[in-house]
Amino acid sequence: MDSQIKKIHQQLVSKQITCTALVQEKLDLLKQNTYNSVNSLLDTLALDLAAKVDAKIAKGETIGLLEGIPFGIKDVFMLQGTYTTASSDLLKNYKSPYTATAIQKLLDAGAIPLVKENCDSFGHGSSSENTIFGAVKNAIDPTLVAGGSSGGSAVNVAKEYTIFSIGGDTGGSVRQPAGYNHIYGLKPTYGRISRYGLMAYASSTDCVGPLAKSVEDIRIVLNVMSGKDTKDQTSITSTEISEDAIATSNVKTIGYFKNFVESDAIDAQIKADFLASIEKIKAKGIEVKELDFFKSDILVSTYYTLAMAETASNLSRLDGTNYGNRIEAENLIETYAVTRSENFSEETKRRIVGGNQVLSQGFSDEIYLKGLALRDQISENFSKDFEAVDIILSPVTPNTPPKIGDSLKDPLAMYLSDAYTVGFSLGQLPTLTVPQGTSTGLQITAAKNNDELVLKFANFLKELI
Amino acid sequence: MSKTMTVDILSSIKGAQPSESVNKLFDVIKNAVPSNNNSLNNVNYNCVSVSNLREDVVIESSAIEKQIILENFPNKKNGFLVVAKVIEG
């Protein structure tokens, strides 16, 4: 699909549509939708902003490319004055006092926020069922999960309720729902987009990422949000990616992880489709190398060990005194415990407890520190791979989306379903899901800071597969 | 502190127990044999150099920000924001 942003920009400039009518239409669609993709609508704000864009156009002033373009925000991002619940009971009445850097940059460019989107509570989940707002339904088959944790964002883009949405990806939370709902979803290089104002899940892999229906829209939104930010000291400087720079691919060699496709866990059709895509790429004269990689269970266990440890620390502030819905008990310690016990979901509690297990004395050496050492090895492995290949291609998920209700019954199966996404998170690499190649898409990954090459190869695949 | 703290105390979650599913993940790590034995994060450098630290200045919050922080605060009594109870002992 071509750029929706450019198409709407043209329609606004040529006065084919008004921004108010566009925003109202999208708000109506969001309000009536039965996919549980919405936590709260920002109707007053959105319509006010739309009226300003219309006034500008009426006066004959030029508008920027993103001006008047409606978008969605995963409900873990701060937007001043709006509820930011993280889909949790603990923060169901929490209002953002300030605005996240990534969101502020979009507002500054004139984009119009419509909705705070449903997701797994605090990003804890791969299905968008761990939420107080009801399980998000898959855009293609509503009996299936939307994926997660940015499930609401993926569905809103897929159904065209938003032109693009902003998700958060810690271990696959943008890429996997993008795959499940047949759209594009990018996890940029860690640090390329400031994390300031994104509620922390696991700070060492948390990334802000756009979801959209075209490579071009991903590029436009990525450029606007990127950049070093003094409010997030892990953020990095990056250069803008131009449309021309990604128009033609110069990729000569790609690789794929042999053990991902030889695993017993992969669905037969996804495997066959992935290998067929590889053959099409080979037929174009691109060299394809089979790469060795860590076993899936090591990747998943390393990721969850570190992510749980970090989330146990990050969520310790949610105690009903510093933040959240306080439930009073006989003393302070009891108040903390009752507040957290009653307000956190089972999955969030499971992850906090797991994190405290691995950080506690006697366990940290054999689990947490070993997890850190394994992450180093995984990253080193990537560095070596990218000396041999330009791009690593991978399926997004081993299986098709599960039925709503199934993931909650078997947490271990849910953790293992992240096998193909978590490794790239640990490596802090740029990875894009494209809605092609298998029924849950393909992941394109390049070396750190080479987000441009990822988009370039995505454009190449768009024509090929 | 020699007293062993259980996960329910560490997590401030009543009756919390380690989960079987999560323990299975940890068992994989326990049995893994890393070729290196350090946890120094030698590959992904995310630290900031001293010369690149941001200015150590107090930034005044806007009036709207202060007002929302007050609104969010979990409890208020006679115009004062109150914590749950003063830590005893």
Concerning whether A173 is annotated as a catalytic residue, the answer is yes
Query: Is residue A376 assigned to a domain?
Result: no
Query: Is residue A366 assigned to a domain?
Result: no
Concerning whether A149 is annotated as a catalytic residue, the answer is yes
Residues in A touching B8 (Cβ below 8 Å) = 337, 353
Average pLDDT over residues A169-193: 98
Q: Is the pLDDT of residue B88 over 60?
A: no
pLDDT at B37: 59
A 367-396 near B (Cβ less than 8 A): 367, 369-377, 379-380, 383
Instruction: Give per-residue pLDDT as tens, A248-297.
Output: 999 999 999 999 999 999 999 999 999 999 999 999 999 999 999 999 99
Distance (Å) from the C-alpha of residue A358 to the closest C-alpha of chain B? 8
- Asked if A132 is an interface residue toward chain B (Cβ–Cβ < 8 A), one would say no
Cα B12 from chain centre: 12
Pairing of strands A184-187, A253-257: unpaired
Q: Are A298 and A257 in contact (CB under 8 A)?
A: no
Cβ <8 Å between B84 and A335: yes
Which CATH number does the domain housing residue A205 bear? Answer: 3.90.1300.10
Report residue B2: phi and psi, to 5°.
Answer: -100, -15
Residues in B touching A332 (Cβ below 8 Å) = 83-88
Residues in A touching B53 (Cβ below 8 Å) = 233
Nearest 5 degrees, angle CA B28-CA B31-CA B34?
A: 100
Report residue A23: phi and psi, to 5°.
Answer: -65, -40
- Asked if B2 is an interface residue toward chain A (Cβ–Cβ < 8 A), one would say no
Range name among A49-53, A405-409, B80-84 with the lowest pLDDT average: B80-84
Interatomic CA distance for residues A198 and A122, integer angstroms = 10
Q: Are A438 and A277 in contact (CB under 8 A)?
A: yes
- Asked if A308 is an interface residue toward chain B (Cβ–Cβ < 8 A), one would say yes
Share of chain A above pLDDT 90, in %: 94
Report residue A84: phi and psi, to 5°.
Answer: -130, 95
- In angstroms, how far is the first alpha carbon of chain A from the final one? 13
Structure tokens at A407: 């993931």
Query: Is residue A292 assigned to a domain?
Result: no
Task: Tell me which residue of A95, A93, A113 sits closest to A42, measured CA to CA.
Answer: A113
Amino acid at A260: F
Domain, as residue range, for A100? 4-245
- In angstroms, how far is the first alpha carbon of chain B from the final one? 16
Structure tokens at A76: 């873990």
Interatomic CA distance for residues A165 and A87, integer angstroms = 17
Query: Is residue A55 assigned to a domain?
Result: yes
Task: Tell me which residue of A418, A434, A427 sits closest to A450, measured CA to CA.
Answer: A427
pLDDT at A97: 96
Task: Tell me which residue of A122, A161, A125 sits closest to A146, measured CA to CA.
Answer: A125
Q: Is the pLDDT of residue A51 over 70?
A: yes
Query: Is residue A342 assigned to a domain?
Result: no
Give chain A as a 3 state SS string: CCCHHHHHHHHHHCCCCCHHHHHHHHHHHHHHCCCCCEEEECHHHHHHHHHHHHHHHHCCCCCCCCCCCEEEEECCECCCCCECCCCCCCCCCCECCCCCHHHHHHHHCCCEEEEEECCCHHHCCCCCCCCCCCCCECCCCCCEECCCCCHHHHHHHHCCCCCEEEEEECCCCCHHHHHHCCCEEEECCCCCECCCCECCCCCCCCEEEEEECCHHHHHHHHHHHECCECCECCCCCCCCCCCHHHCCCCCCEEEEEHHHHHCCCCCHHHHHHHHHHHHHHHHCCCEEEEECCCCHHHHHHHHHHHHHHHHHHHHHHCCCCCCCCCCCCCCHHHHHHHHHHHHCCHHHHHHHHHHHHHHCCCCHHHHHHHHHHHHHHHHHHHHHHHHHCCEEEEECCCCCCCECCHHHHCHHHHHHCCCCCHHHHHCCCCEEEECCCCCCCEEEECCCCCHHHHHHHHHHHHHHC
List of residues 6+ apart from A367 with CB closer than 8 A = A305, A357, A358, B26, B29, B30
Tell me what the pLDDT averaged over chain A comes to. 96
Name the pLDDT band for B2 (thresholds 50, 70, 90). Answer: very low
Instruction: Give per-residue pLDDT as tens, A184-226.
Output: 999 999 999 999 999 999 999 999 999 999 999 999 999 999 9
Cis peptide preceding A121, ω within 30 of 0:
no
Distance (Å) from the C-alpha of residue A462 to the closest C-alpha of chain B? 32
- Asked if A305 is an interface residue toward chain B (Cβ–Cβ < 8 A), one would say yes
pLDDT at A363: 82
How many residue pairs bridge chain A and chain B with CB atoms within 8 Å of each other? 177
Task: Tell me which residue of A192, A247, A244, A249 sits closest to A221, measured CA to CA.
Answer: A192
Which one has a higher pLDDT value, A139 or A362? A139
What is the pTM assigned to this prediction? 0.96
Name the pLDDT band for B87 (thresholds 50, 70, 90). Answer: low
pLDDT at A5: 98
Residues in A touching B76 (Cβ below 8 Å) = none
CA distances from A240 to A19, A130, A244, A333 (A): 28, 36, 11, 50
Number of other CB atoms surrounding residue A24 within 10 Å? 15
Which one has a higher pLDDT value, B41 or A70? A70
What is the DSSP secondary structure assignment for residue B85, as one 8-state letter? -
What is the DSSP secondary structure assignment for residue B49, as one 8-state letter? P
B 42-61 near A (Cβ less than 8 A): 42-44, 46, 48, 53-55, 61
Tell me which residue in B18, B44, B69 faces A97 most closely, judged by beta carbons: B69
Q: Are A201 and A313 in contact (CB under 8 A)?
A: no
Helix or strand (DSSP H, E) at B76: strand B76-77
Q: Is the pLDDT of residue A171 over 50?
A: yes
Cβ <8 Å between B25 and A374: no
Average pLDDT over residues A2-25: 98
CA distances from A394 to A261, A271, A338, A427, A440 (A): 9, 10, 44, 15, 11
A127, A149, A235, A394: which is the annotated catalytic residue?
A: A149
The tally of domains found in chain A comes to 1
- Asked if A325 is an interface residue toward chain B (Cβ–Cβ < 8 A), one would say yes
Q: How long, in residues, is chain B?
A: 89
- Asked if A242 is an interface residue toward chain B (Cβ–Cβ < 8 A), one would say no
Q: Is the pLDDT of residue B7 over 70?
A: yes
Residues in B touching A376 (Cβ below 8 Å) = 36, 38-43
Q: Is the pLDDT of residue B40 over 90?
A: no
Q: Is the pLDDT of residue B47 over 60?
A: yes
Query: Is residue A100 assigned to a domain?
Result: yes
pLDDT at B71: 86
Residues in B touching A357 (Cβ below 8 Å) = 7, 18, 22, 26
Q: Are A183 and A441 in contact (CB under 8 A)?
A: no
Q: Is the pLDDT of residue B5 over 90?
A: no
Interatomic CA distance for residues A359 and A27, integer angstroms = 45
Tell me which residue in A234, A308, A320 faces B84 most closely, judged by beta carbons: A320
- Asked if B17 is an interface residue toward chain A (Cβ–Cβ < 8 A), one would say yes
- Asked if B89 is an interface residue toward chain A (Cβ–Cβ < 8 A), one would say no
A26, A74, A105, A448: which is the annotated catalytic residue?
A: A74
Q: Are A71 and A111 in contact (CB under 8 A)?
A: yes
Cβ <8 Å between A298 and B13: no
